[in-house]
Amino acid sequence: MGRGEREIVGRGVRLAEAAGRVGEDLDRAVGAVREALRPLHDGLAERELANIPVARLRDVTEGRLRLGELERGGFRSVRDVLDAGAYRLRQTPGVGQRTAEQAVAAARQIADAVRETVAVRIDVDRPEPATTALVAALYVLVEAGPQARRAADAGRELAARLRPLLERAGPAAARWRMLFAGRAGRQGALAAVAELRQLIEEAEQAGLPEEFAQASADLLRRPDSDLAAWVDFEVRSAEYYSLLAEVSGRGPDTAAVEGHLPDEVAARVREQRLDDTHCRVALRGYQAFGARFALAQRRVLLGDEMGLGKTVQAVAALAHLAAQGESHFLVVCPASVLINWTREIEARSTLRALPLHGPDRQEAFADWKGRGGVGVTTFDALRGFPAPGGGEIGLLVVDEAHYVKNPLTRRAEAVTAWADRCERVLFLTGTPMENRVAEFRNLVRILRPDFADKVDEQDSVAGSTAFRRAVAPVYLRRNQQDVLAELPVLQHTDEWEELSRSDEEAYRDAVRAGNFMAMRRAAYARPQDSAKLQRLRELVAEAAENGLKAVVFSAFRDVLGVVEDALGGRAVFGPVTGSVPPARRQQIVDDFSAAPGHAVLLAQIEAGGVGLNMQAASVVILCEPQIKPTIEHQAVARAHRMGQVRPVQVHRLLATGGVDERMVRMLENKTRLFDAYARRSAVAESTPDAVDVSDVALARRIVEEEQARLGVATTDAGRMSTAGIDAAGMDFAPMDAGGIDAAGMDSAPMDAGGIDAAHRHAEGAAAE
């Protein structure tokens, strides 16, 4: 015994301190959120109680409480009763001790219920000191990520194992202590040192000291400024609200979260552990339950309403199975969402995602078979792959599962063949199945043939809750209004699409001509095979299935014409363009708002994005990214504003590898913080052009880079200059009476300001 033992004890002490510290740091960060939340929550509860009339106390006491004297005494609300207390109530003529005590007890019962149910919402357009403090406190937890919680849990567990060993090994820390420890004490100390050495080595091999240090550093990191915290909240609001619900413990109703499942099914799902080791984001409560449902029930259909994150729940299930040792997974989806799936898997988990699509799909399939990961393929491509052997696939995920509702189609046959070989299968669809019992039965027959014949049409007739209870072993659906009590009212999704062959040809032609605006709308130039248009149809169809209204924005009138032709039908209103007189524009919006159920409004973004309120819409689709971030913000704000009672889902259609990707990257990198600041300034609200990057410079750079990337020879009109962008890129035409031209862009003749001037002219006309 000597220096070696003392060194081990010293390492153990330092490791225990680091392990304990990370838990303390997490507790401190959580405490800061609770401290910031308390005044907001209490203030909201107080305002709610002030609006509840005294008469409601009678409901709590089943009509036994006499309230006439209280009301005549000037007590109007439940809050008045609580503020007064029993003593002051007794001073009111006709109010005795018993009545006063009963009134206060009933008021407290109502107050407890209110405090349990009120949900704090963060208004990004009205940042106040109290909400800023809450956002800044949440920023720490969001930035630290779920790995901080995992590190804290591991730290607490390790510290609990280290403490008794360090106590027993204490005599070995100093020579004089060993001398006075006695024989038994020395032997015990040496044995503890041996156990301590092994535990330290295990922790170091697992990288725990580094995890603790990183988590503690992350949990101590504050936002650079209040502005930076607000900007981050706008970008990742779902994660903020998820953590807020977790910290406050005030999530949605448990029965709603569990989709009104019968007790025996819900209990089995609750018992299912969810390993989030490979997850990069924190799940909301209902999302964690959905992932556990898929794992516990093994072969199921997740039918959450659009906007609730079915993809995230599927990724969480994949991540759990990967942590349990599974290596191969397959996602089957429409081609329009293949890129989105790949990006979501990579962004939200540590799993390897591999597209099995395109001309090299067989080579990619062989790579996936050999190395594992999450293969992502399409319904059509799936038919070209051999079905797996039993036990090879950890989980088969089928997105937009209603695509295989007809068992006679080849895609349904291929999915069935794969599903028969997989122990776990997860179907996803936002289409409500309650009114499509025959289609639902066909899907269930793939998942659970033994259960399909038990699906009864009468269960649907009895209502959605009765239907869900009857099919609970295989079907889980939650609605937004049930589970979004503390979720953001604005949810952004970038819908990345891979251009079709004809899209690519149109895009190359536009690049060769140096025509920036033609490049931006090339994805709609050949509608019969447009990848973006196909995804737009799917989004509108899903909105229709859920009875939601949608507004479709584009900068280009010809794109809106293509969309109108593709959608057709009586439920399409507009388009609202700059050449439509203001009174007529408002009438179109009013007709759209008054239409019962689902409807679609088409609007040119600079005409529909100014002066019109579209809060009837809860789905916003942007056909292409805009040159100015402020234009998108103003357009989305038409729907996401006071009076909107449902969360607004914003879907921005983007094509990979070309002008869209370059525009998004440039605008995000160069204007994110500055634009967020400017949107809160009075100057920027009136002159949004003042805060945006130079459009001419951006356009020139993008066109030149795309010409170089594609290796295309440019025409004379396509040679890059200000005149080239002006003449070839904007499709100008003479102005009409409304200040808008007849071309696709509805723009004015260019001045020295280039594209900026065209935008200003269009904005001015739109605001008339």
pLDDT beyond 70 at 159? yes
Q: What would the mean pLDDT of 518-537 be, rounded to a whole number?
A: 94
Mean pLDDT of the chain, nearest integer? 81
pLDDT confidence band for 478 (50 / 70 / 90):
confident
**Cα distance between residue 606 and residue 577, in whole Å:** 8
CB 416 within 8 A of CB 458: no
Q: What share of the chain is helix, strand, coil (3-state, %, to 5)?
A: 60, 10, 30
C-alpha distances in Å from residue 177, one per residue of 13, 73, 182, 611:
17, 76, 9, 81
Residue with tokens 């960060």: 29
Rounded to 10 degrees, what is the CA torsion of 299, 305, 308, 309?
40
pLDDT of residue 684: 33
**pLDDT per position as a tens digit, 351-364:** 999 999 989 999 99
pLDDT beyond 90 at 169? no
Q: What would the mean pLDDT of 74-99 be, rounded to a whole number?
A: 89
Q: Which residues contact 98 (CB under 8 A, 6 or more apart)?
A: none
pLDDT confidence band for 154 (50 / 70 / 90):
very high
pLDDT beyond 50 at 555? yes
**Cα distance between residue 351 and residue 278, in whole Å:** 7
| DSSP for 753-768, written as a single string | TTHHHHHHHHHHHHH-
C-alpha distances in Å from residue 47, one per residue of 80, 240, 421, 430, 504:
11, 24, 58, 37, 57
Percent of the chain with pLDDT over 90: 41
Q: Which amino acid, one-letter code, is at 474?
A: V
pLDDT beyond 70 at 337? yes
The CATH code for residues 490-767 is 3.40.50.300
Lowest mean pLDDT among 77-91, 194-208, 234-248: 234-248
Q: What would the mean pLDDT of 611-624 be, rounded to a whole number?
A: 79
Yes or no: is domain 251-483 CATH 3.30.40.230? no
**pLDDT per position as a tens digit, 428-462:** 988 777 667 788 889 999 999 888 877 766 554 44
Q: Sheet containing 600-604: which strands, arranged edge to edge?
A: 490-497, 648-655, 619-622, 550-554, 600-604, 572-576
Nearest to 131 by CA among 142, 139, 123: 123
Q: Which amino acid, one-letter code, is at 736?
A: D
DSSP-based three-state secondary structure for 299 = strand
Q: What would the mean pLDDT of 186-211 be, rounded to a whole number?
A: 87
Q: What would the mean pLDDT of 20-38 be, rounded to a whole number?
A: 94
Q: How is residue 736 annotated by DSSP?
A: -
**Cα distance between residue 574 and residue 335, in whole Å:** 29
pLDDT of residue 31: 95
pLDDT confidence band for 294 (50 / 70 / 90):
very high
pLDDT of residue 609: 54
| DSSP for 360-372, written as a single string | THHHHHHHHHHH-
pLDDT confidence band for 270 (50 / 70 / 90):
very high
**Cα distance between residue 518 and residue 498, in whole Å:** 18
Nearest to 330 by CA among 351, 300, 307: 351
Residue with tokens 């004490």: 185
**Cα distance between residue 139 and residue 767, in whole Å:** 37
Q: What would the mean pLDDT of 475-479 be, rounded to a whole number?
A: 87
| DSSP for 511-565, written as a single string | HHTT-HHHHHTGGGSSGGG-HHHHHHHHHHHHHHHTT--EEEEES-HHHHHHHHH
| DSSP for 232-277, written as a single string | HHHHSHHHHHHHHHHHHT--S-HHHHTTT--HHHHHHHHHS----T
pLDDT of residue 409: 94
pLDDT beyond 70 at 386? yes
Q: What would the mean pLDDT of 463-478 be, rounded to a whole number?
A: 77
What does the block give as tokens for 4?
């070696």
What does the block give as tokens for 26?
């997490």
Q: Which residues contact 411 (CB under 8 A, 6 or more apart)?
A: 379, 380, 382, 383, 403, 404
pLDDT confidence band for 212 (50 / 70 / 90):
very high
**Cα distance between residue 429 and residue 311, in whole Å:** 10
pLDDT of residue 605: 87
pLDDT of residue 743: 35
Strand pairing class (425-428; 395-398): parallel
pLDDT beyond 60 at 149? yes
Q: Which amino acid, one-letter code, is at 411?
A: R
Query: What stretch of H or E contains 226?
Result: helix 226-235
Lowest mean pLDDT among 74-78, 431-435, 662-666: 431-435
Higher model confidence: residue 466 or residue 534? 534
Listed ranges 217-221, 422-426, 441-445, 680-684; the one with the highest mean pLDDT: 422-426
**Cα distance between residue 462 and residue 447, in whole Å:** 24
CB 269 within 8 A of CB 289: yes
pLDDT of residue 216: 93
Q: Judging by beta carbons within 10 Å of its beta carbon (0-12, 13-18, 19+), is residue 713 exposed, middle or buried?
A: exposed
CA 579 to chain centre: 36
pLDDT beyond 80 at 635? no
Q: What would the mean pLDDT of 676-685 be, rounded to a whole number?
A: 36
Higher model confidence: residue 633 or residue 353? 353
pLDDT of residue 721: 37
Q: What would the mean pLDDT of 99-126 be, rounded to a whole number?
A: 84
pTM value?
Answer: 0.62
pLDDT beyond 80 at 529? yes
**Cα distance between residue 249 and residue 243, in whole Å:** 10
Kindly report, as residue ranges, where domains of CATH 3.40.50.10810 are found in the chain. 251-483
**Cα distance between residue 411 and residue 598, in whole Å:** 29
**Cα distance between residue 668 and residue 167, in whole Å:** 54
Residues facing 426 on adjacent strands: 300, 397
For residue 239, the number of C-alpha atoms closer than 13 Å in the C-beta half-sphere is 20
Percent of the chain with pLDDT over 70: 79
Nearest to 306 by CA among 650, 592, 615, 599: 650
C-alpha distances in Å from residue 455, one per residue of 446, 467, 516:
13, 9, 55
CB 603 within 8 A of CB 609: yes
**Cα distance between residue 556 and residue 747, in whole Å:** 10
Q: Distance from first CA to last CA of the chain, Å, rounded?
A: 89
**Cα distance between residue 265 and residue 330, in whole Å:** 26
Kindly report, as residue ranges, where domains of CATH 3.40.50.300 are found in the chain. 490-767
pLDDT of residue 361: 93
Residue with tokens 């080595």: 201
**Cα distance between residue 463 and residue 650, in whole Å:** 30
Higher model confidence: residue 591 or residue 239? 591
pLDDT beyond 80 at 131? yes
**Cα distance between residue 711 and residue 697, in whole Å:** 21
